[in-house]
Structure 1
Amino acid sequence: MWDWIVDILFQILKLIQGFAVDWGLSIIILVLIIRLLLTPLLLRSTRSMARMQVLQPKLQEIQQKYADDPQKQQEMMQKFYSENKFNPLGGCLPLLIQMPILFALFTLLRNLPSYFPGVETSAFSFYNILPDLTMVPSQAFANDPVTAIPYLVALVLFSVLTLIPTLLQSRNQTGSQAQSMRVMAVVMTVMMLWMGWGLPAGVLLYYDVSSLWQVIQQQLVTRKVTEKAKAEEEARMASAPIEVDVVRRERQARPHKKS
């Protein structure tokens, strides 16, 4: 099942490389195509996350109110999601779509020389900036620390460009939630350094360009979409009818007067 995804990715890259000539440039073009295709979905996801920020106090209220009854709590939260037409997993969809592409690209670059028997790995380069896109930073550093500098730069960008978007998002949060996001961002940065140490340079290039696109888009487009979506949701919540819990008391029989 996984092989056909890798084969499709190979055919797309091979088609792009036919006119781009350079494999690194082909990967960059692939990033741009995927990012453009995902833009409508990303904007929808952004609106969903903005609405979640507005709805969060109400969700916390439900969680506290039914803290002693998990089943009732889950039922009320599902009802709340349904009434507000909200999908809690909507914000994760763009990431979930991109993950198979990253894994497929990792598999493809690791085995790319086998697709072209007799061709040197130096043919799979990015204008000699990254001389071998199949090379991993750890191997490049072991061969020659000086020539490994471009690979190490790609690795550092791999981690830093993971940190920046989360830090930008944390500005929209307050208190402990903002602090938790910053701590998570630092932990993820360290993890990405560790993971990237063994990833092919082509995967690092793909992720770096994709993350850079995300940062620019976040500053130019996403922030405005978030502010607009939050304002619309706050206005909708303000005009929504107020729900009042009414507890009916059982009517007690009146005492009969003694004659």
Structure 2
Amino acid sequence: MANLLGSLLKIIYDIIGNYGISIIVFTVVVKLILLPLTMTQTKSMKSMQEINPKIQELKEKYKDNPEKMNQKTMELYKEYKVNPLAGCLPLLIQFPILIGLFNALRNPTVYVFPNEEAYLAADTAFLWMSNLASPDVIFLGGIAIPFILPILAAITTYFQSAMMSPKGAKKDSSQTMMLYLFPVMMLFWGRTFPAGLLLYWVAGNVFQIVQQSVLAKRPAKTKEAIK
């Protein structure tokens, strides 16, 4: 998978001639390829959000009878033709693709360019960065401090995750922790990741935020409007 995606990035670079812009275009192309899976996931998530008030009512009504609560919940899913697992399948399918992308962008001399000389020739300055092979950091007293890309990666990760969280649902402590922990981890990891990899991550998050905003406005096709 990494070889295939690396070849795609090389083709885009050969057309555009700028490595940074090529990564952004590459990100958009990959996201468009994955769009059918993303739409399936979004539709499932929206359907679950719409029936969530009824699920909460069932949890309150049958809080002392878990077996009955599960039975009624499954009946509710069947009535409104909602599959709670539909949102998980696209994630499972996308996982090996994401791993391939990670490897291709972290090791471009292996998967994208034929040798290190070709990579160094392509990886010239982009925006404020002298190259995309090094982390985007500044040094204060010998300590690497995350600069613009790691901060953008953390911020866009938070907003993208927040948009994917079910609206109106009660979040447990672990969900709330992950909502904030993952962006902090991205900020920390960004101190060591090549800037090219973070550029892909930020561009992908921005694409998904815009995509999610558009898809979220479309009504889910449940049995009927849930009052």
TM-score by length of 2: 0.75
Residue by residue over 1:202-235, the C-alpha shift from the partner in whole angstroms, topping out at 9 and shown as x without a partner, is 221111111111222333x12311xx22xx6483
Aligned to 1:135: 134
Identity among equivalent pairs (%): 32
In structure 2, the residue matched to 1:254 is none
- Of 29, 33, 47, the residue aligned with 1:33 is 29
Q: Corresponding residue for 1:207?
A: 201
Greater mean deviation of Cα atoms: 210-219 or 99-108:
99-108
For 1:99 and 1:126, the matched residues in 2 are separated by 31
Q: Which moved more, 1:84-93 or 1:74-83?
A: 74-83
| Aligned counterparts of 2:32 and 2:88: Cα–Cα separation in 1 | 17
Correspondence 1:24 to 2:20: yes
Q: Which has the higher contact order (CA 8 A, sep 6+)?
A: 2
Check conservation: 2:79, 2:223, Cα contact below 8 A.
no
Per the alignment, do residues 156 and 94 of structure 1 end up closer, same or farther by CA in structure 2, a change over 3 Å counting?
farther
- CA shift, 1:6, in A, is 1.2
Deviation at 1:191, TM superposition (A): 1.9
Structure 2: runs of 5 or more not aligned:
none
Structure 2 CA distance for aligned equivalents of residues 186 and 66 of structure 1: 29
Q: Which residue of 2 aligns with 1:54?
A: 50
Is the aligned partner of 1:88 residue 2:84?
A: yes
Q: Which moved more, 1:84-93 or 1:19-28?
A: 84-93
- Kindly provide the amino acid, as one letter, of the partner of residue 128 in structure 1: F
Corresponding residue number in structure 1 for 2:105: 109
Say whether the 8 Å CA contact 1:124–1:134 is kept in structure 2: no
Aligned-partner Cα distance in 2 for 1:95–1:178: 22
Q: Cα RMSD (Å) of the superposition? A: 3.7
Deviations 1:217-255 (A, max 9, x none): 333x12311xx22xx6483556xxxxxxxxxxxxxxxxx
Partner of 1:255: none
Q: SS where residue 84 of structure 2 aligns?
A: coil
From the CA coordinates, give the structure whose radius of gyration is larger.
1
Q: State the one-letter code of the partner of 1:159.
A: A
In structure 2, the residue matched to 1:251 is none
* Structural mapping, 1:142-153, within 5 Å: 152-153=147-148
CA distance in 2: counterparts of 1:235 and 1:57, whole angstroms: 15
Provide the secondary structure at the position in 2 that maps to 1:235: coil
SS of aligned partner of 2:224: helix
Distance across 1 between alignment mates of 2:48 and 2:91: 17
TM-score, length-scaled by structure 1: 0.67
Provide the residue aligned with 1:235 in structure 2: 224
The amino acid across from 1:188 in the alignment is: F
1:158 counterpart = 2:153? yes
What is the CA–CA distance in structure 1 between the aligned matches of 2:72 and 2:166, rounded to whole Å? 30
The equivalent position to 2:3 in structure 1, one of 4, 7, 31, is 7
- 1:116 CA drift (Å): 3.2
**Compared with structure 1, are the counterparts of its residues 209 and 12 closer, same or farther at alpha carbon in structure 2 (3 Å cutoff)?**
same
Name the one with the larger helix percent.
Answer: 1
2:215 pairs with one of 219, 222, 226: 222
Give, in angstroms, the shift of residue 18 of structure 1. 1.7
